[in-house]
Structure 1
C-alpha cells in the first residue's frame, strides 16, 4: 500500500466533518505551492496577468477623481453664465477647454480599462489551459508510480477522483487570488482618499462588513464538507451515468431492460445530493442577505454624513460625488476582499485533495543500488514460503508457496476461481510484494532488481486486458512503447499471435481505429480482441512470458492453436500459462495445482492424472462435457 512521507498526515486525511477555523487557516499553506506551480507553468503569462491587473487596479481611483474634477469644472462653468451665450461662443472663448480635456481623459481611461480587462482575460485563459494540461500530466505521471493495490483501495479511488476534479477546477482560484491582489491595490487608493476627509468612516465600514465575512467563511466550510462527504456517492452517480449510456454496456442494458433500474438508482442518489445542496444554499442565501444588510446600513450612515458635510459647505459637489463614490466602491471592494478571502480559504481546502494525492508515495519501488537483470536468465524463479493477503482482507490470497520456475520452462497454473493463480502472477511481475517469504530470480530477491527493468523483461497479458480505442497497430505497439513506430516488429507480433488475419480484414489494416468509442472505429469480437492483446506480449520480446487466461473468449480449438504456437515460439523462454481448459495446459512442461491459495500438487499432465486428486477430478469433469 502506498504511504505518506513523515509529516504529511494532515494532507492525507482532510476532515470529513465541517473544518474548524484552524483547519481552514492551515489550508492556506497550500497557496504558496499552488502559486509556484502557476509560475512554473508560464512565468511570462503569470507576469502579464499580475502586471496588467496592477495597472488596472489604479484606474478606478483615477477615473473617479477625474469625475469629481469634471463636476466641479461644470459647476464653475455654470457659475460663469456661459451656457446662456451658446455652445459655439463658449467653445470659442476657450472656457470649455479644461472641461473638454477632462472628458477626453475620462474617455481614454475607459478605453484603456476595457482593453486591459480583455488582455487579463486572454492571459488568464491561456494560463488556465496550460495549468490544467500540466497538472493533468503530473497527475497521470504520479498515478503511474503508485502501487496496484492503491487502485483497488476505495478510499484512494475517492482521493484520486477528487484530485482529478481539482486539475480542472482550480484555475478559478488563480483568478480569485490575482483579483484579490488587484482589489487590494484599489482599496488602498480609495482608503487613502477617505483618510484625508473622514478616517473614522473606514473603521465603520470594516466593522459593518465583518459579519458578512464570518458568515461566508462558515458556509464555504460547510460546502467543502458536503462535497468531501459525498465523494463516494458522486463516483456512484458517474458510474450509473456511464453504465446507462455507453457502448460497452449497451447490449446488456437493452436485453435486460436495465435502463429503468439505472435511471431509478441515479435519480435516487441525485435527488439526495440535490436536497443536501438545496438546504445549504437556502441557509446561505438567507443568512447572506441578513449579514449583507449590515454592510449596506454602514454605507448609508457614511453617505448621510458626507451629504451633511456638503450641505454645511465643507465639501464641494465634486467632493461629495468623489467621496460617495469612493465609499461605495470601497464598501464593495472590502466586502469582496473579505468574502473573497473566505472563498480562497475554502478553495485552499480543495487543494488539499490535489496535493495530498501528490504526496502519496509507492511502497513497491526500485532499490537505491539495483542489481542488473540477468540476460539470459540462468536459473529461474524460486518462491520461498510466499504469502500475500490483500489489504483489509481476512483470508490469505496465497500462502506457504514453495516451488521453482526454472529458466526456459513452460509452467501451467490450474485451479478453481479464487485459488490464487492471478495473484501469483502479479507477485511474479512485482505488481505486489509478498507479505511473507520472498521470490528469488537467479538467487537474488526480486526487490534487489530495478523495477522498470524487471517488468521490461516480463510480458503479461491478463484476462481483463485493456481494449485501447487506438489503431490496430497502436493496440499492439503499446506492448513495447519505445517500439511503437517499428512497423516490422508490430507485424511480426501480429503474425505470432494470429492477429494478422484479423487485421488483414480491417478496412485500413494496421491504421484502422478499433473500438466504437470514436467515429470511424470498427469493433472486434471478443476473440479478435484477445488475439490483438496477445500480440502485445510478443511485442515485448521478454525473457518471461505470461498468459493469464487471455484466451477465454476463444473456442477450444483456437485456444489450443494459440497456446501451441506460443509454446513453439517461446524459444526456450520461461513461460507461465493459466487456463481452465486442460487440453491446453497439458502441453506445459509442468503443471501446478492451486487450491485456496496453497500449492496442492505439481507434475506433468500424466503424473497428475496418475496421482488422482483435484487435477484428475477437474480433468474428468471437463472431459465428460465433451463426450
Structure 2
C-alpha cells in the first residue's frame, strides 16, 4: 500500500492551533506593545493623521449637506455657496497633505518595527542555550518568529493603519447618521456581521496553513541554499545534483501548493457567502433609507447625504473587517514571536556573572550529556582532570564524543548529569567564556576585514592583532593583501579577497592567540594545514601557549603523543587515559588505533 503523504494537519501540532477570538484582546495588546516600543513617535503621528483623515471625511459629509441645502434654497447665489465650496476645497487639500505625511510615516514605522523585532530575535538567539540549536523544533519556532518579525510586522502595521483610518471614518459617518436618522444604524450593524464571521474563520485557516507549512518551507529554503551558497554550489556541480535537487524542490512546492489550494478554496467559498449575505443586508438598509425619504421622514438633502454616509460606511465596514483580519492574522504570528522571546527567557544560559580566579585544575565529575530528542546519550559517566599549564589530548573514533566533551568543558553545553568544576567551584551557573578560547574544526570564515577576523570585538588593537597573526604564521600573507589588514576576507561582499583553506585556518588560529585566554580548546586545529605546517605548529605549541592549558582534539595520533595526558573515548565513555607510553604499554584501544595509523606510513 502506498504511503499516505503528509498534510498540513499532520505537520501542525495541537498546541499550536489558534484559539478563539477571546484571546484577540491579549494578542492586540502584545501587538501594540511591540509597535509602541519600536517607534512610539511614528506610531502616534501615523495614528493621529489617520484619525484626522477619518474626522475630515465626516466633515466633508456635513459640509456637503450644507452645500446641498444652500444650493436647493430659494434665491441661492454664488455668494451663499462660496463659503461652503471654499471649506470643501480647504478640507480636501488638508486631507491630501495628511495622506502624503501618513504614507511617509507609515513607511518609516514599518521599517522601525521590523528592525526592532528582528533585533529582539537576535538577542534571544545570542542568549539561548546552545543545546537548543540541536533541535529541529527550535528552528521551526525560530522561522515562525522571524516571519512574525519580518513580513508579519509589516502586515501588523498595515492592519493598525487601516483600522485607525477606517475606524475614524466609520465614527465620522456614524455621527452623521445619528444626526440624520439613527434608526439606520441597527440595519447597518447587521451588514457587518457576516463579514466578521468570515474574517474570523479565514484568519484561523490562514494561520493554520502557515504554521503547518513551516517544515516544508524550511526544507525548500535549504534546497535553494544548496544552489545559491558558495560552499555547496561546487558539490552540486561535482556530483551533478542539480536535476535531483530541482525535482525535490518541485515536489515540496507541489505539496505546499496542494495544501494552499485547499485552504484558499475554502476561504474563497466562505468569503463569497459572507459577501452575498452582507450585500443582501446592505440592500435592505438602502431600501429602508428610500422608504424614509418617500414617506417624508427625510428631506432630499438629508437623504442624499445619508446615502453617501451609508455608502461610505458600507465600504468602511469592509475595510475595518480587512484591517481586523490583518491584525488578527499578524497578531497570531506576533504570538509566535512573543513565545519565542519567552523561550529565550526559559532556556537561556544561566549566568550569575561571577568571574572565577585562574584555575589550578578543571574537573569533569560523572558528566553525562544527551542531545535534545536523542534517546542515546552522547556522553555518560565521564570523569576527567585538566591541570593548569598541561596539554591534554582527547582521541577516539568518529562519534565517540570528543567534540561534545570539549563543548561541555568550554561551557557551551550544560551537562545533563554530573558537573564541571574549576578548583571545586561548579560552573553550571558561572560560565567563564572570557577565560576560554575555542577553535573548531569547522571554524568560521568571517566575511569581515582581516583585522576583525582576528580581533573581532577588540580589533582596534592592531599591534596585538598583528602579533597574534605572526604567532599563527599568518602575518606575511595578510600584510601582502591589497589593503593589508583592512582587506575584507571572502568573496561575499564587493572588494573581498578569498584565502586558501590553509590560510583561513591560520587566521582562525590567530584568533586563539589573540584572546590570551588561560584555557585553549583546539578541535582538529591543523586539519587544513599541510604536513610541514602541521609539524611546525605542534613543535611550537608549548612555546606558543606557554602557561596556558590546552585541550587538543585530533585524529592524528602522531600529533598528540607529546601531550601530558591523553584521554581515549569510545561510545561516549572514557575507556583509557594516561600519557603515550602508558597507553601503548596497556595494549588497549589507543595502542591499536595508533598502530593502525602508523602502519599506513610504513
TM score, norm. by length of structure 1: 0.89
Cα distance in structure 2, aligned partners of 1:470 and 1:439: 35
User: Conserved in 1, the CA contact under 8 Å of 2:50 and 2:168?
Assistant: no
For residue 534 of structure 1, the aligned residue among 487, 509, 518 is 509
Cα distance in structure 1, aligned partners of 2:322 and 2:111: 26
Shift of 1:448: 5.3
For residue 513 of structure 1, the aligned residue among 488, 504, 512 is 488
Greater CA deviation, 420-429 or 285-294? 285-294
Shift of 1:538: 1.1
Shift of 1:328: 1.0
Shift of 1:31: 2.2
The residue number in structure 1 matching 2:444 is 466
1:433 to 2:411 alignment = no
Q: Secondary structure of 2:141's match?
A: helix
Cα 1:223–1:459 change in 2 (3 A) is same
Task: Give the gaps of 5 or more residues in structure 2.
Answer: 1-11
For residue 457 of structure 1, the aligned residue among 397, 420, 435 is 435
The residue number in structure 1 matching 2:45 is 48
1:305-354 Cα distance to aligned partner (Å, 9 max, x none):
33344345443332222011101111222233244334422222111110
Q: Secondary structure of 1:592's match?
A: strand
1:118-166 Cα distance to aligned partner (Å, 9 max, x none):
1112112112212222222221112111001111111111111111121
The residue number in structure 1 matching 2:60 is 63
The residue number in structure 1 matching 2:18 is 19
User: Conserved in 1, the CA contact under 8 Å of 2:401 and 2:569?
Assistant: yes
Cα 1:295–1:158 change in 2 (3 A) is same
Cα 1:382–1:34 change in 2 (3 A) is same
For residue 384 of structure 2, the aligned residue among 403, 406, 420 is 403
Cα distance in structure 2, aligned partners of 1:146 and 1:98: 72
For residue 107 of structure 2, the aligned residue among 119, 122, 125 is 125
For residue 383 of structure 1, the aligned residue among 349, 352, 364 is 364
Cα 1:300–1:396 change in 2 (3 A) is closer
TM score, norm. by length of structure 2: 0.93
Cα 1:527–1:194 change in 2 (3 A) is same
Q: Secondary structure of 1:545's match?
A: strand
- Where do 1:192-211 residues align within 5 Å? 192-211=175-194
Cα distance in structure 2, aligned partners of 1:143 and 1:165: 15
Shift of 1:516: 1.8
1:343-381 Cα distance to aligned partner (Å, 9 max, x none):
42222211111000100135564454x654113x2x211
Greater CA deviation, 261-270 or 314-323? 314-323
Q: Secondary structure of 2:150's match?
A: helix
Cα distance in structure 2, aligned partners of 1:26 and 1:603: 62
Q: How many residues end up aligned between the 2 structures? A: 589
Cα 1:534–1:185 change in 2 (3 A) is same
The residue number in structure 2 matching 1:32 is 29
The residue number in structure 2 matching 1:335 is 318
Cα 1:256–1:166 change in 2 (3 A) is same
Cα 1:448–1:144 change in 2 (3 A) is closer
For residue 612 of structure 1, the aligned residue among 581, 587, 590 is 587
The residue number in structure 2 matching 1:185 is 168
For residue 100 of structure 1, the aligned residue among 47, 67, 82 is 82
Shift of 1:229: 0.8
1:171-227 Cα distance to aligned partner (Å, 9 max, x none):
331332243233223323322322344333221122232112111210110110010
Cα distance in structure 1, aligned partners of 2:510 and 2:136: 32
Cα distance in structure 2, aligned partners of 1:552 and 1:568: 20
Q: Secondary structure of 1:459's match?
A: strand
For residue 142 of structure 2, the aligned residue among 141, 160, 180 is 160
1:274 to 2:257 alignment = yes
Shift of 1:231: 0.7
The residue number in structure 1 matching 2:7 is none
Cα distance in structure 1, aligned partners of 2:234 and 2:340: 36
Greater CA deviation, 291-300 or 266-275? 291-300
1:267-287 Cα distance to aligned partner (Å, 9 max, x none):
111122122222322232233
Cα distance in structure 1, aligned partners of 2:276 and 2:429: 68
User: Conserved in 1, the CA contact under 8 Å of 2:523 and 2:554?
Assistant: yes
User: Conserved in 1, the CA contact under 8 Å of 2:132 and 2:372?
Assistant: no
User: Conserved in 1, the CA contact under 8 Å of 2:58 and 2:176?
Assistant: no
Task: Give the gaps of 5 or more residues in structure 1.
Answer: 1-12, 83-94
For residue 413 of structure 1, the aligned residue among 373, 394, 399 is 394
- Where do 1:576-591 residues align within 5 Å? 576-591=551-566
User: Conserved in 2, the CA contact under 8 Å of 1:295 and 1:331?
Assistant: no
Cα 1:334–1:352 change in 2 (3 A) is same
- Where do 1:239-388 residues align within 5 Å? 239-360=222-343, 361-363=345-347, 365-366=349-350, 368=352, 371-375=354-358, 377=359, 379-388=360-369
Shift of 1:27: 4.6
For residue 603 of structure 1, the aligned residue among 578, 581, 584 is 578
Cα distance in structure 1, aligned partners of 2:13 and 2:82: 60
User: Conserved in 2, the CA contact under 8 Å of 1:217 and 1:346?
Assistant: no
1:529-553 Cα distance to aligned partner (Å, 9 max, x none):
1111111111110000110113212
Cα distance in structure 2, aligned partners of 1:473 and 1:624: 43
The residue number in structure 1 matching 2:518 is 543
Q: Secondary structure of 2:193's match?
A: helix
